Structure 1
Amino acid sequence: MSFKVLLKICLHLVAWLIICMASLFHSTGVYLANQAAGQIKVLVGRQSFEDYISEVKPDKNEIERLELIQAIKQYSEDSLGFKPTKNFSKIYHHNHEPLLWVISASEKYTIEAFYWSFPIVGDVSYKGFFTKEKAIAEKNRLICLGYDVDVRPVSAWSTLGWFSDPVLSGMLTRSKGWLCNLIFHELFHATYYAPSSVNYNENLASFIGHKATLQFLSSDTAALTAYQKSYADNKVIDDYTARFISELNHLYDSIAPFSENAKLILKQQRIHRLLNGYDTLRISGMDKVKRLKEQIKSSGNAWFVDFEQYNALQDSLERDFNKIYKSNLREMVQSLK
């Protein structure tokens, strides 16, 4: 890494740490300082694709994925009008080990997110940790306060243009279609992000990521077909989950006056019955259903908060896309910049 690049990183981090210090007498400042340290490790550890290929010697499929990512970046800027960035121009090798754990929480008897407040991004309904132990400690704190809590590793994150986000080596194991979806999603965050609007930001990035993937893969029949098949399975699961959430909301409204013990029993009974419904879905692979059911069992309402962050607005975005933008993705992106 050149001195000029290192200096630029340091200046950005100094700016970020000043923000942290402004709230240092609050736990948020300590948290942000820890996050800055984790981000420094990733930024300093980035390397060129050429060096990565020379040192790690990835297989042919992973090398092709690196080439694909560059094509996606170019397409996002030239054909869709995304903001040009240096994101995904380098790679960070992490040996497939999780780098970041994200925690979210919900009220126990209503699907209502717990929010954390931060400088710049405002109120957000999830919190990331570069150390698993810190994520678990926060999980335990929230459980003691009576919340349902979910902790999960994530495969990517965006610094919203503050830094040049690298490719994470674990991304290279994804299928062609889902890698496209992920990269378009994260690149869009650097193009558009509204403070204190987590659900809208994530739903919008998910929508744009999907539509961009369909458009980008239009000339690659095999990859497009595989992606559409997998996406269709997800849509069946998502539609059932939305009905699941609606039924739970009705239950929670009806049991509000009940005792804690009665509410807990009725909640567990209803979730157990609804979980069994996933086994009746007609999809090509049930492994994802098995994983999903285990996540819901352990995370409760927090998992549904996660789901709504990425999926609750898809139908309304589809209507806007067709009616307002006449199914023109570039026009939609341009209107949001």
Structure 2
Amino acid sequence: MWRAFGLLLFGVVGGLALVGCADLSYYRQAVAGQLALLHAARPVVDVLADPATPPALQQRLQQTQALRAFASTDLALPDNGSYRHYADLGRPYAVQNVFAAPALSLEPRQWCYLTVGCLSYRGYFDAEAARELATHLRVAGDDVYVAEIPAYSTLGWLDDPLLNTFTLWPVGRLAELMFHELAHQRLYIADDTGFNEAFATAVGRLGAERWLKQHGTARERAEYQADCQRRGDFLALTGAARERLQVVYASSRTDTMKQVEKKTILTNLREDYQRLKQHWNGYAGYDRWFAHDLNNAKLAGNSTYYRWVPAFFALYQQQNQDFPAFYRAVEALGQLSAVERAARLGALSVSTAHRVLKTEQAEEEVAVIDRRHYAH
């Protein structure tokens, strides 16, 4: 998911002009990494014309250009040079994001940048630098998660290219990712990662469903529906664990007792995941996520990206599934204070607490995880 799905924004590019502030080495690696990525990018038309391009990549690149046109004509997303170029980075990820949270808290650490505000992660092109920060944070006592991220948005400052890290994904997931990143270019609110990511996630999901309904095959629609269902099951599973941890951390227990409870909850979470896989016919796409760094930082990251997605689904329905009207309504939310915005999103979420978007060609629903381990 996040990080089989891996859809996190790398917002540091907005701070590239800040050499002279804070951490010079950090900004230097960001500049160098972005320049290397742009240098590797080639126009899609050139890649298609190159006889050395594998047929599977040629076919998919042609499809990306149809998706790119659809994003602007049908979803009212920015019509610019993004996704008109292709870059092979020679690695399976674009950047590495470092997430951190205290050992007994699900509140993520924040890193602030002058242009884009504060974010709940620190993004790196330089893998060694990411490891060094992660080590430093662990030594200081934090829970840490280093995520390999397949794509990011420069928020329209630059034309983002297609990357080898995601271009050959199943078409539904590819569409969702492209629309997600373009949504960041459409609207971005400083200092509110949860709002930005949930908005982009909702646009990606809604846009992918619309694309598949109009242009996808029955197999592609069923494949995407199964992927979304598994993702929903995963979020229900991890959300239940997160809620249980919140109760423990807010209690009057001693820190030692809290640590014991934390270990038990995370052990139960792994066991419940193994049971959940039985309903997925052995699908193992989340195995790596559960195998390493299962901690507060990883669980807090999930909450950041998905907490307000139901609210944006509800707002989209209120605007009669009209994307321009939806964006205007979201912009109005963005102008509220943080407290007012959260209250409004909370009210919208309640109205759709049990609603699940479905595509027309789904073959069957996958059973939701038995959550008895978390019942009191």
Q: TM-score, normalised by structure 1?
A: 0.87
Matched, 1:245 2:242: yes
Give the number of the structure whose residues are more often helix, by fraction: 1
CA contact (8 A) 1:106 1:112 kept: yes
* 1:290 equivalent in structure 2: 287
Map of 1:47 onto structure 2: 42
Secondary structure, aligned partner of 2:297: helix
Q: Aligned-pair distance for 1:38?
A: 1.0
CA contact (8 A) 1:111 1:249 kept: yes
1:258 aligns with 2:254: yes
Residue 39 of structure 1, CA deviation: 0.5
The aligned runs of 1:308-327 (5 Å cut-off) are: 308-322=303-317, 324-327=318-321
Q: Cα distance, 1:17 vs. partner?
A: 5.2
Q: Distance in 2 between matches of 1:69 and 1:82?
A: 15
Offset at residue 53 of structure 1 (A)? 4.1
CA contact (8 A) 1:83 1:190 kept: yes
Identity of aligned residues (%): 21
For residues 137 and 15 of structure 2, the distance between their equivalents in structure 1, rounded to whole angstroms, comes to 27
Letter of the aligned partner of 1:104 in structure 2? F
1:20 aligned residue: 19
> Are the equivalent residues in 2 in contact too, given 1:185–1:209 (CA < 8 A)?
yes
Q: State which of 212, 215, 224 in structure 1 corresponds to 2:221.
A: 224
Matched, 1:71 2:70: no
* Aligned AA (2:188): Y
RMSD of aligned residue pairs (Cα, Å): 2.1
Counterpart AA for 1:234: R
| Structure 1 residue 193, shift from structure 2 partner | 0.8
Corresponding residue for residue 142 of structure 1? 137
Whichever residue aligns with residue 20 of structure 1, its letter is V
Deviates more, 1:100-109 or 1:216-225: 216-225
- The aligned residue for residue 304 of structure 1 is 299
Distance 1:55 1:67, change over 3 A: closer
What residue is the counterpart of 2:232 in the other structure?
A: 235
Q: Find the aligned partners of 2:312 and 2:84 in 1 and give their Cα distance.
A: 30
Deviation at 1:131, TM superposition (A): 1.2
How many residue pairs get matched? 315
Q: Which residue of 2 aligns with 1:328?
A: 322
- Which residue of 2 is the match for residue 33 of structure 1? 28
For residue 251 of structure 1, report the CA deviation from its aligned partner. Answer: 1.6
Q: What's the CA shift string for 1:57-89, capped at 9, x where partnerless?
A: 333332122112111221111112112221111
TM superposition score normalised by structure 2: 0.78
Matched, 1:86 2:85: no
* Aligned partner letter, 2:60: R
Listed as ranges, the matches of 1:195-214 within 5 Å are: 195-214=190-209
1:121 aligns with 2:120: no
* Aligned mates of 1:303, 1:70 — CA distance in 2: 34
Q: Which amino acid aligns with 1:329?
A: F
Taking the aligned partners of 2:51 and 2:291, their CA distance within structure 1 comes to 35
The CA deviation string for residues 194-248 of structure 1, in whole angstroms up to 9 with x for no partner, is 1111111011101110000000111323212211111111111111221121111
Counterpart of 2:165 in 1: which secondary structure?
helix
What's the CA shift for 1:321? Answer: 2.3
Amino acid at match of 1:135: A
CA contact (8 A) 2:43 2:85 kept: yes
The one-letter code matched in structure 2 to 1:252 is Y
Q: What letter corresponds to residue 258 of structure 1 in structure 2?
A: T
- Structure 1: gaps (5+ residues): 1-12
Work out whether residues 211 and 329 of structure 1, in 8 Å CA contact, stay in contact via their aligned partners in 2.
no
Q: 1:56 to 1:187 in 2, by over 3 A?
A: farther
Deviation at 1:153, TM superposition (A): 1.2
